[in-house]
Amino acid sequence: MSPEPNLFPLGVATGSAHCNRKEERAELTRNVLTGAHTWLWGRRRMGKTSLVEQGLQDLARNRRKVVAATIDLLVVHDVQDLEVRIRTAVERLSASIVPKGRRSSGKLAEAFGALKPEFSFGAMGLGVRLSPPTQAMQGIAEMLLGLDRAAGMYRRRAVIVLDEFQQLGQLESGTARHGPEGAVRHAVERARNVTYLFAGSQRHLLASMFEDEDRPLYRLCRKMTLDRIGAADYRAFMRQAGISRWRSPVADAAIDRILATTTRHPYYVNALCARLWGGERPPSVEAVDAAWSRIVDEDKRVAAGRLVRLAPSQRALLKAVARTRGGVEHPASLEFLSPLRLPTSTGNRARVVLEQEDLIRRDDDGRWVLVDPVMTSYLRSL
Ligand SMILES: Nc1ncnc2c1ncn2[C@@H]1O[C@H](COP(=O)(O)OP(=O)(O)OP(=O)(O)O)[C@@H](O)[C@H]1O
Ligand SMILES: [Mg+2]
């Protein structure tokens, strides 16, 4: 295996594994520093977490006055759990905004007031504990506002990342509408020294949270959309990665094959390259194809599982789109639908569902293609 750092991780990609995203990184860090709250939308596994992590690392390198905490809402199951996680994040951030070696915490006590912070001084530096609030929702807003005051007093900027943010809407069922979303909004509206970053992949849920006038977060945030990494950027990255692995370049034809097969889906680019870069020699086109077949073999069960849950008309349409090389211009046309024996209205409905389910998307040139390259290869093999 390569002695080099892992250039193609399956998890978060930062540092030497992070390809391009220069403009997005600049925009994100600018937003953080100017206090422009941001909601970042990107399809599943498009690189949202990697972008945010990389942006925070860029800031940490250049601006020591920024402190950040990430809360992954995917693992939060109710409002009480959310409160505990936010409290832990606020405690940690508050401790880290106090300059090292400073043993006085008077300003923090003032910032958090009624939340009665307790302080400890140990080998790890300052520790901060906030008492659990009697009412979770109100507590969330108060803690976040306390953090904002504390950051202002020490002239620091704090960043709170709420990843998989659409989950917050799910937490509300059963409790009052706008519950936790309202608490967060209350803090976001008043924030002066904390920047909030919201990331997620479920477009319709997020859009309804951020673009619907009746929802609390309406118009508080700037929107950023994360697309695929450009082919030219990936090419340059892979050439460099080839040289650092084998001291010789990877053939352009092999790189093109990687980009075409994976349709530049960042997760699958990495899954495929991780295998190829484990080889003794730079990959040939044939080696790319062979490694890809193995990936499809291993992952096709997941694809099949999703297919089973679709209605027959949706399955038929998906399969026909997958099998049309280069994508489909008019999936609702008679010409496309009649060989499938689908009436136009049914075909149209199926297309809408497939798009909502994030199974198909429009390519840069407007043609419909599948989102998941493994699903494409699998459906072509049937
Ligand atoms: N800029 C990048 N350069 C190289 N690889 C990347 C980049 N961004 C993401 N990836 C790769 O893509 C995959 C998905 O990345 P990441 O987990 O950041 O995406 P995500 O959008 O947060 O996914 P999810 O929807 O599952 O939360 C990982 O394999 C990661 O290493
Ligand atoms: Mg993520």
Mean pLDDT in consecutive groups of 10 residues from the start of the chain, 382 residues: 75 96 96 95 95 95 87 91 95 91 79 90 87 90 96 95 87 61 89 96 81 77 93 97 95 98 97 97 98 97 95 97 96 94 95 94 94 97 91
Using the mean position of ligand 1's atoms as its centre, give its distance from the Cα of residue 199 in Å: 13
- Ligand 1: which of 267, 272, 374 to mutate, judged by most atoms within 8 Å of the beta carbon? 267
Q: Is the CB of 19 under 6 A from ligand 1?
A: yes
Q: Is the CB of 263 under 6 A from ligand 1?
A: no
Nearest CA to ligand 1 atom 26: 45
Using the mean position of ligand 2's atoms as its centre, give its distance from the Cα of residue 50 in Å: 7
Provide the CB-side half-sphere exposure for 127 (13 A, CA).
Answer: 6
What pLDDT shows up at residue 173? Answer: 47
User: If DSSP codes are grouped into helix, strand and coil, which group holds residue 17?
Assistant: helix
What pLDDT shows up at residue 210? Answer: 79
Tokens of 88: 């832990």
What pLDDT shows up at residue 1? Answer: 47
User: Are 71 and 89 within 8 A, CB to CB?
Assistant: yes
Q: Is the CB of 44 under 6 A from ligand 1?
A: yes
Any idea what DSSP says for residue 328? Answer: B
CA dist 218 and 207 (Å) reads 9
pTM of this prediction? Answer: 0.92
- Ligand 1: which of 6, 7, 45 to mutate, judged by most atoms within 8 Å of the beta carbon? 45
Using the mean position of ligand 2's atoms as its centre, give its distance from the Cα of residue 74 in Å: 9
User: Are 220 and 188 within 8 A, CB to CB?
Assistant: yes
Using the mean position of ligand 2's atoms as its centre, give its distance from the Cα of residue 40 in Å: 11
Nearest CA to ligand 1 atom 31: 13
Tokens of 107: 């300003």
Using the mean position of ligand 2's atoms as its centre, give its distance from the Cα of residue 163 in Å: 7
Q: Is the CB of 161 under 6 A from ligand 1?
A: no
Task: Of 32, 27, 371, give the one whose Cα is nearest residue 193.
Answer: 32
User: Are 226 and 41 within 8 A, CB to CB?
Assistant: yes
Using the mean position of ligand 1's atoms as its centre, give its distance from the Cα of residue 230 in Å: 14
- Residue 44 CA: nearest ligand 1 atom is 25
Give how far Cα 52 sits from Cα of 97, 308, 329, Å: 20, 34, 34
- Ligand 1: which of 14, 41, 50 to mutate, judged by most atoms within 8 Å of the beta carbon? 50
Using the mean position of ligand 2's atoms as its centre, give its distance from the Cα of residue 200 in Å: 7
Using the mean position of ligand 2's atoms as its centre, give its distance from the Cα of residue 382 in Å: 31
Question: What is the strand order of the sheet 157-163 is part of?
Answer: 66-72, 157-163, 194-200, 38-42, 222-226
Any idea what DSSP says for residue 222? Answer: E
CA 107 vs. chain centroid, Å, equals 35
Q: Is the CB of 90 under 6 A from ligand 1?
A: no
CA dist 133 and 229 (Å) reads 44
Please calculate the CA angle 60-63-68 and round it to the nearest 5 degrees. 45
Q: Is the CB of 12 under 6 A from ligand 1?
A: yes
Residues in CB range of 170: below 8 A, 6 or more apart: none
User: If DSSP codes are grouped into helix, strand and coil, which group holds residue 382?
Assistant: coil
Q: Is the CB of 13 under 6 A from ligand 1?
A: yes
Residues in CB range of 40: below 8 A, 6 or more apart: 28, 48, 51, 52, 197, 198, 199, 200, 224, 225, 226
Any idea what DSSP says for residue 319? Answer: H
